[in-house]
Chain A
C-alpha cells in the first residue's frame, strides 16, 4: 500500500488473482518460444511478467 501525503490512498497494484493469471500466461508463452528461438520476444514477455509480479514500490526516499 502506498503512502500519500495530501493524495488519495489508492493501491495501484493489480489484484492477486489477476497477477497469478497474467504471469502464468506470460511465462507459458515465453516457454513455448524457447523452442522457436524468438529470443527478443521471449525476454520481453518475461520482463512484463516480472513487472506485473514484483512487489510494487512503497514510499521511499527517491534518488
Chain B
C-alpha cells in the first residue's frame, strides 16, 4: 500500500516558524503537533493522535514494549558492540504522578515519530511504501530529535524516568544510523548528540569533527559545525588542539567568517588562561 505524504504551505510555514523561534520545552510539543498534522494529512490518518485513540494509556505502553519493538531495536543494533548502549528495558513501569504520566506519554510520541513508519506497518497488516514529501518528514524528525535531546531527556533524567530515557536514547541512536545513512555529515552531527547524552565524550569530539569535515566550506552550517567541534575541544581542555584548529580554520575559510573566527581564536587563548 502506497502512503503519499503531503505537505502544504501551512505545514511548511509552521516548520519554518518553529525553526526560527526561541526554543523551549513548548517547542517540543509544537514539533510533535506538526508531525501529527503532517502524518494525518495522508489519505488516511497516520499520526500519533490517531494511534492513541485506539489505546488506553496503559495499553499504549504495552504496544511500545511488545516484542516487535524490542526486536526492532535488537535487530538495528545487532551489528554493534552493544555493551555501551543502554539495555533495552523489559517494560515501562506504570507511572502514577500526572507529570510522570505526561512525560512518559511524550516519550512514546517521540518514539512513534522517530521510528515512523515502523509502527504503522503493524496497524493493518499491509505493507507500507512511503511516497511524496519524505524529505519533509525527515526534517521534522530531525527537529523532534534535537528538541528531545535539548528539553525532554534532561527532564526524564531529573524525574528519574530511566526506562523512557533508555528507550529514547536507543531510538535516537537507531534513527541516526538508519534514517540519515545518505547524509553522513548530519548523521555524525546526530551521533554526537546521542553520544553526548550517553556520556561518551571522546566519541562526541570524533563525530563533530567528521560532521565538520563532511561539510562544504560554502554551506551555511560550515562555521556552525566548526564552532561545535572547537567548543567540544575546549570543554575537553584540549586547548592546543583547539588553537591549532581555529588558526587553520582562519586560513581555510572565506572572508565573511573572519570576524567570528578571530573571536574564536581569542576565546581559545582566554579560556586557556582561566
Contacts and interface: CB of A to CB of B under 8 A. Distances in A.
Judge: A and B partners, yes or no: yes
B12 A51 contact: no
Interface string B162-174: 0000000000000
Interface in A28-52: 28, 30-31, 34-35, 39-40, 42-44, 46-52
Interface in A6-63: 6-8, 10-14, 16, 18-20, 22-24, 26-28, 30-31, 34-35, 39-40, 42-44, 46-63
B224 A53 contact: yes
Contacts of A58: 135
B8 interface: yes
Nearest to A51: B146
Contacts of A49: 221, 224
Contacts, number: 149
Interface string B120-150: 0000000000111111111100110010011
Nearest to A13: B16
B244 to A, nearest CB: 18
Interface in B187-240: 189, 193, 196, 219-221, 223-225, 227-228, 231, 234-235
- Please tell me the size bucket of the interface on A: 35 or more
A59 B146 CA distance: 21
Contacts of A23: 220-221, 223-224
B20 A6 contact: no
Interface string B241-263: 00000000000000000001001
A8 B258 CA distance: 40
Interface stretch (B44-52, B57-65, B83-91, B176-184): B176-184
B19 interface: yes
Given A4-B6, A7-B8, A50 B20 contact: no
Contacts of B19: 14, 48, 51-52
Nearest to A63: B178
B224 A7 contact: no
Given A50-B189, A50-B228, A53-B219, A60 B134 contact: yes
Nearest to B6: A7
A28 to B, nearest CB: 8
Interface residues of B, number: 57
B23 A48 contact: yes
Nearest to B10: A10
Given A7-B4, A44-B23, A50-B189, A57 B183 contact: yes
B132 A10 contact: no
Contacts of B267: 31, 34-35
B114 to A, nearest CB: 11
Given A7-B5, A10-B9, A34-B267, A59 B225 contact: no
Contacts of A35: 267, 270-271
B7 A14 contact: no
21 contacts: A3-B135, A7-B4, A12-B7, A23-B220, A23-B224, A27-B227, A27-B260, A31-B263, A34-B271, A44-B23, A44-B150, A46-B231, A53-B219, A54-B185, A55-B220, A57-B134, A57-B135, A57-B183, A60-B138, A63-B118, A63-B179
